[in-house]
Amino acid sequence: MEKVKIVINGKEVEGIKDQSVLEVAREHGIYIPALCYHPEVPSSGGSCRVCLVEAHQNGWMRLVTSCNYPVRKGLEVKTDTDLVRRIRKGVLELLLARVPDSDVIRDLARKDGIEEPRFFTDEGEDNRYKCIACGLCTQVCEDVVGVNAISMLSRSSDKTPGTPYHKDSQACIGCGACAYACPTSAISMKDTDGIRTIWGREFSMVSCSVCGKPYIPEAQVDWIVKTTHKERSFFERCPDHR
């Protein structure tokens, strides 16, 4: 692995060639806000644009999304300039206008001094909606879980993740990876009395033979057994009691 030295906010740091600027910054304790990027999801990032930074190289400067911009020799990054703050503020105002009830977006916006967006906010029922349409949930489902149960539906401001035609997805295994990955907790998932409800479907859960706690949907166990070499008996106990 080829090591690369770059400068972030005047400090020289080391990363690995083609690692993203965001990853290198995080490894060195430098804060850059990010929503749609997840380290376990290679295809994630590049959608929400809150991770914008200035990238300086060979005498030019560009605003880039740090989550998918690779480190290169001679790169200098600035994460907190007036320009970065001004553009990020606009991005956050747009996000806040879309999801005014999202605590995550509201907190991020507040850090940049925004209490209310300047842009039009729909006062309808959808105000309770928290999805920023970043697509991370669909990427997790397809690229990490490998079931492709959800996708982005509609266009522009109506864009939202969902099951095909908003009907029960027979492909869904109820694993909840989409809900766990969602940066704004916009996906509803409930575990009650051994039943998980997600995307309009109910999934029976397998209970741990030691503590009795329901911990994984049966459909997820079926999927793992079918696609890996794991024995079904492996799932008799929850991770805490294996």
- φ, ψ for residue 92, nearest 5 deg: -70, -35
With CB under 6 A as the contact rule, the residue among 4, 6, 41, 48 that binds ligand FES is 48
What is the DSSP-derived secondary structure letter of residue 40? Answer: T
Nearer to ligand FES, 35 or 175 (CB): 35
Query: Of all helices (H) and strands (E), which one includes residue 94?
Result: helix 82-98
Nearer to ligand FES, 50 or 175 (CB): 50
To ligand FES, the closest distance from the beta carbon of 136 in angstroms equals: 9
Nearer to ligand FES, 90 or 164 (CB): 90
With CB under 6 A as the contact rule, the residue among 15, 53, 65, 133 that binds ligand FES is 65
Does 199 contact ligand FES by CB under 6 A? no
Q: How far is CA 34 from the centre of its chain?
A: 9
To ligand FES, the closest distance from the beta carbon of 41 in angstroms equals: 11
Q: Return the range that interacts with ligand FES (CB under 6 A); candidates 47-55, 108-116, 158-166, 167-175.
A: 47-55
**Structural contact between residues 8 and 32, judged by C-beta atoms closer than 8 angstroms:** no
With CB under 6 A as the contact rule, the residue among 37, 199, 203, 223 that binds ligand FES is 37
**Structural contact between residues 92 and 40, judged by C-beta atoms closer than 8 angstroms:** no
**Structural contact between residues 143 and 137, judged by C-beta atoms closer than 8 angstroms:** no
**What is the DSSP pairing of strand 151-153 with strand 160-162?**
antiparallel
Nearer to ligand FES, 71 or 208 (CB): 71
What is the DSSP-derived secondary structure letter of residue 48? Answer: S
CA atoms within 13 A on the CB side of 90: 6
Does 131 contact ligand FES by CB under 6 A? no
Q: How far is CA 180 from the centre of its chain?
A: 9
Region class of 185: left (phi > 0), else alpha (psi between -120 and 50), else beta: left
Does 35 contact ligand FES by CB under 6 A? yes
Size of residue set near ligand FES by CB under 6 A: 13
Does 194 contact ligand FES by CB under 6 A? no
Does 69 contact ligand FES by CB under 6 A? no
**Considering only CA atoms, which of 130, 7, 141 is closest in space to residue 78?**
7
With CB under 6 A as the contact rule, the residue among 6, 8, 15, 45 that binds ligand FES is 45
Nearer to ligand FES, 87 or 171 (CB): 87
Q: Return the range that interacts with ligand FES (CB under 6 A); candidates 49-57, 86-94, 160-168, 203-211.
A: 49-57
**Structural contact between residues 48 and 91, judged by C-beta atoms closer than 8 angstroms:** yes
Nearer to ligand FES, 81 or 197 (CB): 81
What is the DSSP-derived secondary structure letter of residue 224? Answer: H
List interacting residues with ligand FES (CB under 6 A).
Answer: 34-37, 45-51, 65, 67
